[in-house]
Every structure is written in structure tokens, then in C-alpha cells.
Amino acid sequence: MVAIANPLPVDAKRGGKPFIAADVGGTHVRIGLVAASDDRAQPVKVLRYRKYVCADYPGLAEILEDFIAGLDVAVDAGAIASAGYPLDDGTLITVNLPWQVSLKDIRARLGFREFRLVNDFEAVAHAAAYVDASEVLRLTGPETAPRGPTLVVGPGTGLGAAVWIPTAHGAVVLATEAGQAALTTGTALEMALLQQLLRSRDHVPVEHALSGPGLMNLHGALCALHGTTHDYATPGDITAAAVSGKDARAEETLSVFCGLLGSTVGDMALLYGAQGGVYLAGGILPQIRDFLLQSTFVERFLNKGPMREALERIPVKLVEHGQLGVIGAANWYLDRTRERDLGEEQQGQD
């Protein structure tokens, strides 16, 4: 899939010439040629955009090379959004990517003067404030909420979460590893499934159930409980069978998934004090949009005892925008560039 937009004039004070921004996931890499715009409502303009399948390429460098080869402008800088931990040598440790990523090696191979990394959901949080109302679906809560911490969370190849926190000096984004926290349950069936999952490991993280691979794990555990076979090859096969109503076991799997997601997101909203709202992102949810609306997601989100009233005041919205990670990485990069330039300017004045 390739989407091309007409370039707009670039404000040199807000980022200079176009650069690369990429959202690197375990299944897909989304890349944009981006530039700062003079539109404060949409500070990043996506000039070119393309989506790649990770499994079709031996590494991230090859994907970037292919994208850059199709451009009619020279680029020498960029940023990627991805889950994982960067080491001092520039290598990224992640459990969800099919290959190792070394920022240092990519910089050298592409001849980039600068190539930076941001947590994937931290990047999405940097984009959430610029999502148009037409691109979100409200699941529960009021239309608007007071300005406050805003949670961005979503299942994809893993489960990511970040918190956007407004301050007097601009927003701060807290990146988290919420997907690695221990999975908690709230029904007898979920408890039985957790016991089943614990047979093969001594720690069941949230994303072991609430992700694409997690959906496979849930279905396998349900089949084991019922003494049936686990015959789906991909998470997409399960969701397709569930949404179509062709397989009761697949439908049960997706129902459990939605209920667990609602309960987990409710916990996160309380833990992070997300009075500003919750944005649900990630690759799975848009595919099961109607199923999610009819599920127990909202019921489980609100089912927090005396804190139900507080959660009823928090809007929860499903984000439909497919380029959030790219736009977020670009916003983050421009923020870092402005901070650096401001620091250099202050040093010059001293």
C-alpha cells in the first residue's frame, strides 16, 4: 500500500528539509517521508507513505533502502518508533521484531547524519493530540474530558502503552512496559485460562494474551480446556472466524480477549490517572471494531468497584488513523530538534 500526498512548503524553523519517520512493528514497517508544516493543528505533513511486510525483507536497513530509492529528494536524517530497549552500542533489544536492529549500522549504511529511536507507543502518544474527531470512535465516557494525563494503549504484535502528560512547559510522554506486567483475571473462565497458560511458563505477561500472538495463546488454552483441536494458523484467521460467526470457539476466544482488554485498560486508567482520556490503537482493534462494540469491553473497563464513577468520566476512543506511529515519530523528532536548537542558541548567547 502506497499513499502519496502533495508536498507543502516546509517551515525551516520547525524542522528544515524532509526526513524519514518510521513505525517499526513485529509484522509491518510503516515509513513516511515527512516534514514540518506551518499548520499548528497538523504540525507534520506526510509527503510519501508506504507499508512493508517485515517477513519479506532480511532487515530494516533493506526496507529503508527500498523506500529511499523511490524518493525524488535526498534525505540524511530520521527517526524510528519501535518497541524495545536500546543498548549503548545502538543495538535494539526487542522480542517482537524478526531481525536485529542496529541504529549505528543503519546510519553508516544509509549515510545518515542522524537516525534516532523512540518507543513505539511513546510516538503514538505524541500523535494522539492531532487525531481528528472523524478518525476516532468513542466507546464510553463523555465527548470531552479535562486536560490531563492521556493513556494510549493497544494490542498488535505485542501490547504497548504510553501516557501523555501535559505540563506548564509542554507535554511529557511517559513510555511504559505495561505489556510485560502480570496478566490479571476477573472471571472463572479467565482464571482457568491463566492456569492453563501457567503450565508452560512461570510468568504470564499481559501481552501473552492481549496481542496478535496472545490471541493465538488464548485460543490454544481454550481448546485445551474443552478438549478440542487448535487449528488456526494466524490471529487473523481467528478474528475472521469469530466476526463471521462461523466458529463458536473462535468467537469465545475473541470475547475473552475483549473482556480481558477492557479490564486491563481500566486498571491502567486508574494506575496512570488518565483523566484526560484513553486512546485505543494497535493493529488488531480496527479489524474487530464491530465485535468490540458488542463485547463486554466497556462493562469490564468500568467494573472497578467504587472507582466506577471515576472511570465513567473518562472518554475511551478507538483510533482509526493508520499513520499514527509515523506522525508520532516525526513529532517526537521535531520536538527533540527544537530542544537541541534552543539549547545551542542559549549556549551561543552565554
**What's the pLDDT score for residue 16?**
66
Domain coordinates in residue numbering, the chain: 2-120+323-349, 132-319
267-292 as b/e: b if 16+ CB within 10 A: bbbeebebbbbbbbbbbbbbebeebb
**What's the pLDDT score for residue 49?**
95
**What's the pLDDT score for residue 338?**
77
Rounded to whole angstroms, the Cα distance separating 95 from 245 reads: 33
**Is the pTM higher than 0.85?**
no
**Per residue of the chain (350 residues), what is the pLDDT tens digit?**
233 333 333 333 444 689 999 999 888 899 999 999 888 778 899 999 999 999 999 999 999 999 999 999 999 999 999 876 666 666 776 766 778 888 888 999 999 999 998 888 888 888 877 777 778 899 999 998 898 999 999 898 889 899 999 888 778 889 888 999 999 999 999 999 999 999 999 999 999 999 999 999 999 999 999 999 888 999 999 999 999 999 999 999 999 999 999 999 999 999 999 999 999 987 789 889 999 999 999 999 999 999 999 999 999 999 877 788 899 999 999 988 877 766 555 666 65
Residue 236 · residue 227 · CB < 8 Å:
no
**What's the pLDDT score for residue 320?**
76
Burial level of 89, CB count in 10 A (0-12/13-18/19+)? Answer: exposed
In the chain the beta strands, taken as DSSP E runs, fall at: 2-4, 19-24, 28-36, 44-53, 77-82, 85-86, 91-93, 101-102, 114-118, 136-140, 150-155, 159-165, 172-175, 277-280, 316-319
Rounded to whole angstroms, the Cα distance separating 171 from 183 reads: 30
**What's the pLDDT score for residue 93?**
65
**What's the pLDDT score for residue 271?**
96
**What's the pLDDT score for residue 14?**
41
Burial level of 214, CB count in 10 A (0-12/13-18/19+)? Answer: buried
Rounded to whole angstroms, the Cα distance separating 185 from 194 reads: 8
Torsion of CA 341, 345, 347, 350, to 10 degrees: -170
Domain spanning 132-319, CATH architecture? 3-Layer(aba) Sandwich (3.40)
Domain 2-120+323-349 class, CATH top level: alpha beta
Rounded to whole angstroms, the Cα distance separating 148 from 139 reads: 19
Run of H or E residues at 241: helix 235-244
Run of H or E residues at 166: none
End-to-end CA distance of the chain: 50
**What's the pLDDT score for residue 346?**
62
